[in-house]
């Protein structure tokens, strides 16, 4: 086992433990890939190979991670290798697994995608109460864990704005804070609610597509430099936005043993990628860092 304080070549590995989701939100792309979850035995291999290379693992790309049939066992694998977890979830299954997460020693951060609830008016009250109840428990029992409440639906239609306000009102009521519904993104997207609980508001996220406009071949991105992603079929891609596997490098069993060596060609791989040449995210990041 690699010691937890050893420096790693990469910061984060995005692991798509399943590409199956129980919701069909407008902001998530529709993938033609086969619906599947990563088998437990293969996930065990992934963690062992990833541990010397990455500081932390994020359960994210497509799919709802808490739908994985062996989710508690996945946490045990991470715990055995002392690997930190960054979890992204729509929150629909949080009550089912709250005990496992509250007792998990290596949870670093959890992001709740609350904007999905603004498209599910019939469930919004029930789900928000479940999520906020868990947030209060987690903040109390594990104050070191960051909790990010994402509401990425600014500038949408009036119905979404009404439901967005409902989310904000319940945050105010639950946590005893006052929120300004008029957010100026250029002045900052995040607001501290309480302790390490934050609200993060933004406009809907655009996933890159080969159909998008060509933007150039000088890519400045975290992909392949500080982070990588593994899809549910085990394929390695340089970035968590490559949900189709356009820039597939091979299986993690094949790629991870030589990943540090391959990193030397990261810029060339990204600059030559048709998908990266059309991605707006790296352009936004560079613009933001220059301000």
Per-residue pLDDT in tens (0 to 9) along the chain, 291 residues: 544 446 899 999 999 999 999 998 888 888 899 999 999 999 999 999 999 999 999 999 999 999 999 999 999 999 999 999 999 999 999 999 999 999 999 999 999 999 888 778 788 889 999 999 999 999 999 999 999 999 887 666 655 677 788 888 999 999 999 887 666 555 557 789 999 999 998 888 789 999 999 999 888 889 999 999 999 999 999 999 999 999 999 999 999 999 999 999 999 999 999 999 999 887 654 444 433
CB 12 within 8 A of CB 226: yes
CB 256 within 8 A of CB 51: no
CB 106 within 8 A of CB 142: no
Lay out the sheet containing 190-194: strands in order across. 190-194, 197-201, 146-151, 107-113, 84-89, 54-59, 10-15, 227-230, 235-237, 250-251
Residue 216's alpha-carbon distances to 15, 221, 264, in angstroms, are: 28, 13, 21
**pLDDT of amino acid 287:** 45
**pLDDT of amino acid 118:** 76
**pLDDT of amino acid 6:** 64
Which residues are CB-contacts of 244 (< 8 A; sequence separation ≥ 6)? 31, 32, 33
**pLDDT of amino acid 183:** 62
**pLDDT of amino acid 117:** 81
**pLDDT of amino acid 9:** 95
């Amino acid at each position: 086992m690699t010691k937890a304080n050893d420096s790693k070549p990469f910061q984060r590995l995005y692991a798509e433990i399943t590409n199956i989701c129980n919701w069909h939100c407008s902001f998530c792309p529709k993938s033609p890939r086969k619906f599947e979850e990563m088998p437990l035995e293969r996930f065990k291999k992934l963690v062992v190979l990833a541990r010397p290379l990455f500081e932390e693992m994020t359960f994210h790309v497509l799919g709802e991670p808490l739908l994985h049939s062996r989710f508690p066992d996945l946490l045990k694998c991470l715990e055995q290798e002392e690997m930190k977890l960054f979890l992204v979830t729509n929150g629909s299954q949080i009550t089912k697994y709250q005990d496992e997460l509250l007792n998990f020693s290596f949870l670093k951060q959890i992001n709740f995608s609350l904007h999905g609830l603004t498209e599910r008016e019939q469930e919004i009250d029930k789900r928000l109460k479940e999520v906020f109840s868990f947030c209060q428990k987690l903040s109390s029992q594990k104050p070191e864990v960051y909790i990010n409440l994402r509401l990425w639906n600014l500038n949408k239609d009036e119905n979404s704005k009404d439901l967005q306000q409902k989310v904000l009102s319940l945050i105010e009521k639950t946590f005893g804070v006052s929120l300004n519904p008029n957010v100026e993104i250029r002045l900052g997207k995040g607001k501290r609610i309480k302790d390490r609980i934050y609200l993060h508001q933004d406009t809907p996220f655009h996933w890159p597509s080969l159909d998008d406009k060509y933007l150039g071949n000088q890519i400045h991105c975290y992909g392949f430099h500080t982070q990588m992603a593994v899809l549910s079929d085990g394929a390695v891609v340089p970035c968590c936005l490559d949900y189709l596997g356009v820039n597939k490098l091979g299986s993690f069993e094949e790629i991870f043993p030589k990943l540090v060596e391959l990193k030397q060609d990261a810029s060339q791989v990204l600059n030559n990628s048709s998908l990266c040449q059309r991605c707006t995210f790296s352009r936004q990041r560079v613009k933001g860092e220059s301000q």
